[in-house]
Every structure is written in C-alpha cells, then in structure tokens.
Structure 1
Amino acid sequence: MLRKIENISEYLKSHGIKPSYQRIRIFEYLMKTTAHPTVDTIYRALVPEIPTLSKTTVYNTLNLFVENQITHLISIEENEARYDADTSLHGHFKCVSCEKVFDFEIEADQLRYSGPEGSEVREKHIYYKGLCSGCNKIQ
C-alpha cells in the first residue's frame, strides 16, 4: 500500500514543503515504518542521529505533513496521535492488549455514504479495536 518515493527532497518541494534535513529524516522514518509512530517514538528514534532535534520540531513537522496531505494523523484514542505516511485508502486495527496498530485494505466502493444532499466527503477513517492474532493466542 505504501508508495515508493525515490527523491524525498523533491517530493517535499512538490507539496510546498521546504526540505530541511530534519524534515527529510522525519519523512524517511515515516516511510520506513508500519508502526504508526507517535511524536515521542519518532523523536526517540531520531535524536541520537540529530542531537539538535526537539519534540516541538517533530510535532510541527508532522503537522506540516498532515496539512500538505503527505501524512495522515491517526486518532484512534483521544489522548494519542499517531502518524502514517501511507495516504492511500485503508483502515486501521488497534490491538487493545499490545497497542500495536495494523493496516488493512478496504475498497472505496465498500464504503457507502448517504449524508446530507450536496455534502462532500473529504476524508474517510475506519478504525477497529480488538485483539491481534498474537495477543489472541495468549488470551
């Protein structure tokens, strides 16, 4: 589901984002993970390599990515924001035991919307919670 981007610097520019070293590294990190990381997870992963990195920079960079539609904000829990560089239509499953978030495929025609006439859907979010296969075996 996740697209391949050969030149992240050019990709960021094409979306109106100035490609600083920190922004490139944050986006590379998002592209390489399927873990749907939090700000704190990204910060802890990159600060050994970029000692001048702050959590505020990570937070602001992710917000910039979301605003420019190259990253999705995932809010399955009210007090937890996770990020996903896969902007294709797909759903998320969060295990209530290990708290991992998994992607699953959905097709647009499976989702029917019959809202107010003249309205326009701009985003679709599908979330499920339960036990992943690994945790379900333990239970």
Structure 2
Amino acid sequence: MEIHIENVGEYLKNSGIKPSYQRIRIFQYLVENRNHPTVDMIYKALCAEIPTLSKTTVYNTLNLFIEKKIVNVIVIEENETRYDSVMDVHGHFKCEKCGKIFDIDIDNEHLKDNRLKEFEIKEQHYYFKGICKDCANK
C-alpha cells in the first residue's frame, strides 16, 4: 500500500487544489511518513520548517484534501482524528500499547454481501485494535 507521486504540486493541481508551499509540504508529510498523523503531529513536524504555519492552516488544508478525495479521515478513537493519504480500500490496526496505526490489506471480494446490493456505499471503515508484534515481544 504505497503511494508514489513524482510531482506533488502537479498532483494537487490535477486534483483541483492550488499547490501552495504549505499544502505541498503537508501532503508530502502524509505520503512520506505513513504514520496516520493527527493535526498536532503534522503541525509539530513542519512548524520549524514553516514558521508561518498554524494548526488552523493544517486543519483547513486537510479538510480541503478530504473534500478533493486525496486524503481519508481515520477515526478509531472518538477523541482522535487521524489522516491517511492511501485512498485504496484497506483496514487499520491500532496498537493499544504504543498507539501506532498500521495499514492492513483487505480483500474486498470476501466482503461482498447480497444484502447490500440495493445500497449505495459511500464509505468503508475496517478497524482492529490490540497489541502489535513489537509490543507483544517486549
């Protein structure tokens, strides 16, 4: 589940987004780090490089990315919103000890249900919680 983008500015432009420096760096952060970050995590990672960056700018930029369908929202815990640049259908596993979120491949063919044929599905979410292998081995 990797995303490869040669030119982030062009990618944003093709998605209907004006590619400002802040928008480019926020999207690059999502693609390069794959850590399913919160607004705070993105802000802390980029504020030294971009002194004019605010949490409001990060939040508004992420909402624009969601609106343009280039970023997904992940809400596993009610009080924690995270963001993901992988748009393919996949699941997430959150470790209860270290808090990391891992991507999980999901086989859509096994999830088809005849009872859903008459419904228009707009979102799919698959979440698992437990202890990751690194924490289990400690």
Q: TM-score range by the shorter chain?
A: over 0.9
Mapped partners of 2:136, 2:18: distance in 1: 44
1:136 paired residue number: 136
Residue identity matched to 1:57: T
Mean Cα deviation higher: 50-59 or 107-116: 107-116
Superposition map of 1:1-139 within 5 A: 1-115=1-115, 118-138=118-138
Q: Report how many residues are paired.
A: 138
SS of the aligned residue for 2:18 comes to: coil
Structure 2: unaligned runs, 5 residues or longer = none
Identity percentage of aligned residues: 57
Question: Aligned Cα RMSD in Å?
Answer: 1.2
Instruction: State the shift of 1:35 in Å.
Output: 1.0
Query: Where does structure 1 differ by over 6 angstroms across 4 or more consecutive aligned residues?
Result: none
Mapped partners of 2:84, 2:24: distance in 1: 15
Instruction: Tell me the TM-score normalised to structure 1 length.
Output: 0.94
Instruction: State the shift of 1:98 in Å.
Output: 0.7
Instruction: Tell me the TM-score normalised to structure 2 length.
Output: 0.95
